Amino acid sequence: MRIEDIRQRLRALGANPRHEQRVLRLWSQALPQDAGRREIAHFLPAPLVAALPVLGAELAALAVLRSEHVGEDGSARLLVALGDGQTVESVLLPRDGLCVSTQVGCAVGCVFCMTGLGGLVRQVGSAEIVAQVALARTRRVVKKVVFMGMGEPAHNLDNVLEAIDLLGTEGNIGHKNLVFSTVGDPRVFDALPQGRVKPALALSLHTTRAELRERLLPRAPRMSPEELVEAGERYARATGYPIQYQWTLLEGINDGDDEIEGIVRLLHGRYAILNMIPYNTVDELPFRRPAWEQAADIARRLHRRGILTKLRQSAGQDVDGGCGQLRARAAKPVRR
Ligand code: SF4
Best CA proximity match to 319, nearest among 77, 149, 89: 77
Is the predicted pLDDT of residue 332 greater than 80, yes or no?
no
Residue 244 is predicted with a pLDDT of 96
Three-state secondary-structure class, residue 249: strand
Residue 329 is predicted with a pLDDT of 47
CA 153 – CA 108 distance, rounded (Å): 11
Q: Which atom of ligand 1 has the smallest separation from the CA of 106? A: 1
Q: ipTM of this predicted complex?
A: 0.99
Average the pLDDT over 193-217 and give the result. Answer: 96
Q: Is the pLDDT higher at 222 or at 4?
A: 4
pLDDT digits (tens, 9 = 90+) for 89-127: 999 999 999 999 999 999 999 999 988 888 999 999 999
Is the predicted pLDDT of residue 36 greater than 90, yes or no?
no
Residue 331 is predicted with a pLDDT of 46
Residue 41 is predicted with a pLDDT of 74
pTM for the whole thing?
A: 0.92
Residue 40 is predicted with a pLDDT of 74
Is the predicted pLDDT of residue 145 greater than 80, yes or no?
yes
Is the predicted pLDDT of residue 248 greater than 80, yes or no?
yes
Residue 335 is predicted with a pLDDT of 31
pLDDT digits (tens, 9 = 90+) for 8-33: 999 999 999 999 999 999 999 998 76
Residue 315 pLDDT grade (very low, low, confident, very high; cuts 50, 70, 90)? low
Q: How far is CA 320 from CA 66, 91, 110, 116, 195, in A?
A: 16, 12, 18, 16, 35
CA 149 – CA 87 distance, rounded (Å): 12
Q: How far is the CA of 219 from the centre of ligand 1 (A)?
A: 10
Radius of gyration of the chain (CA): 21
Residue 119 is predicted with a pLDDT of 92
CA 186 – CA 206 distance, rounded (Å): 18
H-type alpha helices, 276-324: 292-304
CA 186 – CA 168 distance, rounded (Å): 23
Best CA proximity match to 225, nearest among 239, 206, 242: 206
Ligand 1: residue whose CA is nearest its atom 7? 152
Mean pLDDT, the chain, whole residue set:
91
Residue 32 is predicted with a pLDDT of 73
Q: How far is the CA of 10 from the centre of ligand 1 (A)?
A: 35
Residues classed as catalytic: 89, 323
Please report, rounded to a whole number, the percentage of residues in the chain having pLDDT higher than 70: 91
Q: Probe ligand 1: pick from 89, 90, 100, 106, max atoms within 8 Å of CB?
A: 106
Please report, rounded to a whole number, the percentage of residues in the chain having pLDDT higher than 90: 83
Average the pLDDT over 174-189 and give the result. Answer: 96
